[in-house]
Structures are given as structure tokens and as C-alpha cells.
Amino acid sequence: MRSVVRGSCADVERVGVNALPHILGDISTEEFLQHYWQRQPLLVRSAFAVDSLPVVSSELAVLAEDPDVESRIVLEAGPTGPWELRSGPFRAADRQTLPATSWTLLVQAIDLWVPEARELLRYFDFLPRWRLDDIMASFAVEGGSVGPHFDQYDVFLIQAEGQRRWQIGSTCGDDTPLLSGCDLQILAEFQPLHDWLVEPGDMLYLPPKVAHWGVARSECVTLSVGFRSPTLADMLGDLAIEISAQGNDQHYTDPALTPAMAAEDIDPAFIDQARDLLSALLNEDGLLEDWFARYMTLPKYPGLEHRTGEARTVRIGGRAYRNGEISED
């Protein structure tokens, strides 16, 4: 697997009406999308000016106390076993029982809770905004980690404070062995191909399924800009619910039958017929456009929009959508 390290770049790109620093080093967005996005890792040194990054370390403990904020703590060697996972909210007393080293606090969707963190999203306007999932903050003490693993989604890992050592492995698959008896999906074996120490301002892009292991060399904060990657099964399930909700009453009909097709074995023609009927239904552009726009703009935390101010918007077919619903322009 190829991988590239790029230096900083002083060029700027026009993003909307604002000129923002280019965060992909000395490659263009076109080159990134063609050769790196969902293909291979990219490390960019000094992608961000350090003073442009939000300082969130002091806010994470407070956010983790809020029951509406999704938070977790990972201990490499917890009382219940290796890679112990604890779910928030966490009181101050909970944090006081943690060891001096080798634990990590994860706080999801800080872009919904911290305005300064939300500003980071402007730098990623070369990707569809509706593809974004959230920005997760990872606060780790020395040795803190969530173990060697792989994700099913694209992620940009921005070092905001302190140092972290990243080891990058090969591309994993559904048959990649995992440790048994763990709360997390930890790789049973991990062979690094690249070993990088990142500083504040550095950014690492990882495509889906690439093995990686980040360990804090000092107390540090990493901001993970992650993108939505629903399973096809989830998408089909949601689409089926949408079709049913719209009152679609189309029924299965047989292909042209012959006496031989009365056998116990299902004739391939029946499979072809089912495929053709379903394909015809899915080929209704209006149906798919409407469902896809609704599905991809569903809020991350439904029911909390009054607190978070979350507004996922998109346009398709001349219609505007907001948080899973058609909206007025």
C-alpha cells in the first residue's frame, strides 16, 4: 500500500466566498480526490496553523459530564481486562479513579457543541458537506490509545495538542482476525508499514479499512473529522421503510411460466423476474432522490436539534432538505 508524506503549502484555495489555507500540502484537491480519497493514506505536515486550531482540552471533561453528549473512556489495561470501554456521562469522581497513563477520553460530535470546532469544517469544503458525520475529540494521557484497529469510514486526524505516534498498517477485510473478549474491535495482529510522530498542526488522512494505531507520546488532543459510511444493509432497510410509508402497493408477478417450472427447484427465471421488478422500482429517480436526500441529512442525534443547532442541508431535484425533511427555501 502506497502512502505519501507532504510538506506544508502556503497556497490558498477559494472556498465559497472565503479564502482559506490549503490543507493538503503541495497537492491539489483534484489530485487528492483522484489518487488518495478512499485509496491510500496521506500525511500532511503543518496542514493547519497551530493558532487556527480550537483549544478544546479544557472543555472535554465538562462535555463528558453532559448526558446528551456521547462520550467514552478507553483503558488499555482496565480492571475488567485489556482495552476496557466505559460509556459516559462521567463525573469528576470517575476521572479521579483513572490511572496516570494509558487511557483516552473520546467525545463525539464536538462540532455540535463547540463553535470553534465547527469552524474547522470550512476547510473541508472540497468534499460534500452532507457526507460528514462529525468531529470527534480524543484526549489522551501519555500512552493513551484505543488500540490497533481499522474503521469503515474516511477520516482526517488533526493533531491539535501534544504529540502522537501513528503506526499505519495494511488494508483489512471482513476476515481480518480480531482479539476475542474485548469491548473494542482490536486487531489480533498488527504489522506497521509506516511509523510517524505527529505534532500540532499535522494532519493524517486514512481511507476506510486501513489498519492504524495511535499512541500519545505526551498528553495530547487529536481531532477526527469522520465521514458517514452506512452499511448497504442499513440503507436498503431504510429505503424499504420509506417505500412502504409512501403507500407503494406494487406486488410480485411471475415471469412467463412453463410446466417444467413447477419443479421443486426454483427456476432462474424467477430470480431474474424478482431482480427486474426491484430494479424497476429503484429506477424511479424521484423516489431514490427523495429518499437519499432525506437519509443522508438525518441528524446525528435526533431530538437534540434544539440544543445542538444541528442543520444538515442539501438540494436535489429542485428541492431543499434539512435534517431529513423537505424544507422551505
* pLDDT class of 285 with cuts at 50, 70, 90: confident
Which percentage of the chain shows pLDDT scores above 90? 84
> Comparing C-alpha atoms, which of 214, 222, 80, 206 is closest to residue 145?
214
> Comparing C-alpha atoms, which of 300, 155, 165 is closest to residue 223?
155
Query: How far separated are the first and last CA of the chain, in Å rounded?
Result: 45
* pLDDT class of 4 with cuts at 50, 70, 90: low
Please give the pLDDT value at position 245. 87
Residues recorded for the chain: 329
What is the bridge-based pairing of β-strands 4-6 and 42-44? Answer: parallel
Please give the pLDDT value at position 169. 98
Q: Do the two domains 4-227 and 232-327 of this chain adopt the same fold?
A: no
Average pLDDT of the segment spanning 305-312: 95
State whether CATH 2.60.120.650 applies to domain 4-227: yes
Average pLDDT of the segment spanning 300-307: 95
Please give the pLDDT value at position 19. 58
On the question of pLDDT at 123 being above 80, the answer is yes
pLDDT tens readout for residues 146-192: 999 999 999 999 999 999 999 999 999 999 999 998 889 999 999 99
Please give the pLDDT value at position 16. 41
Residue 238 vs residues 48, 166, 228: alpha-carbon distances, Å:
38, 37, 15
> Comparing C-alpha atoms, which of 214, 207, 211 is closest to residue 154?
207
Question: Locate cell 474485548: which residue?
Answer: 182
> Comparing C-alpha atoms, which of 105, 75, 97, 73 is closest to residue 86?
73
**Bigger pLDDT: 165 vs 242:** 165
> Comparing C-alpha atoms, which of 103, 122, 109, 37 is closest to residue 70?
109
Burial class (CB in 10 A: 0-12, 13-18, 19+), 210: buried
The answer for residues whose C-beta is within 8 angstroms of residue 37's C-beta and 6 or more apart is 127, 154, 207
Query: How far is the C-alpha of 203 from the C-alpha of 108, rounded, in Å?
Result: 19
Domain boundaries along the sequence of the chain: 4-227, 232-327
Q: Which residues pair with 140 in a beta bridge?
A: 104, 220
Q: Which residues pair with 168 in a beta bridge?
A: 194, 212
Q: Is 141 in contact with 216 (CB distance < 8 Å)?
A: yes
232-327 topology per CATH: Malonyl-Coenzyme A Acyl Carrier Protein; domain 2 (3.40.366)
pLDDT tens readout for residues 187-199: 999 999 999 999 9
Please give the pLDDT value at position 11. 35
> According to the per-residue pLDDT averaged within each range, which of 17-21, 74-78, 243-247 is highest?
74-78
Q: What is the rounded average pLDDT for all residues in the chain?
A: 92
On the question of pLDDT at 27 being above 80, the answer is yes
What is the bridge-based pairing of β-strands 155-161 and 81-87? Answer: unpaired
